[in-house]
Amino acid sequence: MATVTYDHAQRLYPGSDKPAVDDLNLEIDDGEFLVLVGPSGCGKSTSLRMLAGLEEVTDGRIRIGDRDVTHLPPKERDIAMVFQNYALYPHMSVAENMAFSLKMAKVPKEERMQRVKDAAKLLDLEEYLERKPKALSGGQRQRVAMGRAIVRQPQVFCMDEPLSNLDAKLRVSTRTQIAALQQRLGVTTVYVTHDQVEAMTMGDRVAVLKDGILQQADTPLNLYDKPANLFVAGFIGSPAMNLLKAHNVDGHAKLGNIEVPIDRSLATKAGGDIIIGVRPENWRLVSEGEGIPVKVNVVEELGADGFVYGTSGAEGTPDEVIIRIDARRTHRKGETLYVTTDPAKVHVFEAESGLRITG
């Protein structure tokens, strides 16, 4: 096991004038599960492939432990990769697939088979060792790919969207299994996904990227409660945070003639034009004529709670306002709700830079 360090790492593809990954500085602790997340094209897979040695580092350095691996070939980096498409050999059995890298490394047969058996027991694959990949379900193939990585006993696991080919229900159960397995093994893991719910539920820390630039790296809870900028605020959270354009007037955020209270300490640091963020669960229903009017377009009932998706004619409100509601209360399409929030629950951002204003 080892730490991983990206030190001003950059990847510039030939013919491009903009790096796919730009000046990435990131420290990953020994045994940590770090998730790289962001929209398509943000540089997360490129960052992972740079660590694995599958993409050239055009500037800066990458270290695994105390070793500079920037220009080492993949086989000398002591990492194991789990791919999106599993990359299993169709003509080999499960046991042969799992043992293949050990065979290439000339590990003695007895040790190879013992490692395969240990990994199969860990992954509940013992009864499938003689089967071919075509006889397995997607979830089982994914576990075989994990087993192939585990038997290597590497210093670092690199996982590139390994759950994206699974159906929704299986993804939920499998991500729990992977997180629990990584905790048991204690191997430093870098995991790539575009699914922010997956990132928030699996990672010890989550690194959010946009256009090849690291926006914020923190614990899932801190990302949710203290997003560094508007991009992180809008990307992390499902449903997304409501972001409203406002004017800072006497400690209140004014949306036309409507006032939303904000923390006084933040108001004194903010300029005239601000953007306020309110999570769907932090809206509070008030009496008619008070707060922000929201016309209900869709009610999403989820059992324990629900979400209202609506529109508001108030100045600065987005095209869609999202409110979490008590699922046992009935709200109909076309109905108008009135909402406000509490000052302590309002996030305040600079309109020009998009940066969070802290107290």
pLDDT tens figures, 266-289: 888 888 899 999 999 999 999 998
Which among 39, 5, 52 has a CA at the least distance from the CA of 24?
Answer: 5
Q: What pLDDT does 144 receive?
A: 92
Phi, psi of 18 (to 5 degrees): -130, 130
Dist. CA 4–CA 204, nearest whole Å = 15
Closest CA relative to residue 67, chosen from 53, 55, 48: 53
pLDDT at site 165:
81
What pLDDT shows up at residue 172?
87
3-state SS class at 83: coil
Tens-digit pLDDT profile for residues 69-96:
999 999 899 999 998 888 899 999 999 9
What CATH class is the domain 240-350?
A: mainly beta
327 vs 189, more confident: 189
pLDDT at 1: 67
- At 32 the pLDDT is 97
Q: How far apart are CA 113 and CA 118, in angstroms?
A: 9
Mean pLDDT for the stretch of residues 244-248: 93
- What is the reported pLDDT for 77? 94
In the three-class reduction of DSSP (H, G, I as helix; E, B as strand; rest coil), residue 90 is classed as: coil
Non-local CB neighbours of 194 within 8 Å, separated by 6+ positions: 37, 38, 39, 40, 44, 161
pLDDT (0 to 100) of residue 351:
92
198 vs 35, 46, 124, 172, CA distance in Å?
9, 19, 23, 8
Sign, CA dihedral 236-241-247-249, equals: negative
Q: Alpha-carbon distance 323 to 8, whole Å?
A: 41
326 confidence band (pLDDT: 50, 70, 90): confident
Reported as a pLDDT band with limits 50, 70 and 90, residue 218 is very high
Mean per-residue pLDDT, 23-36: 97
Between these two residues, 166 and 325, which has the higher pLDDT value? 325
Above 90 in pLDDT, residue 174? no
Q: Which residues contact 193 (CB under 8 A, 6 or more apart)?
A: 35, 36, 37, 44, 161, 163, 164, 199
Out of 3.40.50.720, 3.90.105.10, 3.40.50.300, 3.40.50.620, which CATH number does the structure's domain 4-231 have? 3.40.50.300
Alpha carbon distance 142, 171 (integer Å): 11
CA atoms within 13 A on the CB side of 194: 9
What percentage of the chain has pLDDT greater than the value 90?
72
Tell me what pLDDT residue 359 has.
65
pLDDT at 198 over 80: yes
Q: Which residue has the higher pLDDT, 9 or 251?
A: 9
Q: What pTM was estimated for this model as a whole?
A: 0.91
Distances (CA, A) of 3 to 34, 58, 68, 71, 295: 11, 22, 12, 18, 51
Is residue 239 reached through a cis peptide bond, with omega within 30 degrees of 0 on the bond before it? yes
Tell me the average pLDDT across 312-334. 88
The answer to whether 3 and 78 have CB atoms below 8 angstroms apart is: no
Max Cα–Cα distance, the chain, nearest Å: 78
Per-residue pLDDT, 21 = 97
Q: What is the mean pLDDT of residues 151-174?
A: 89
| Per-domain boundaries in the chain | 4-231, 240-350
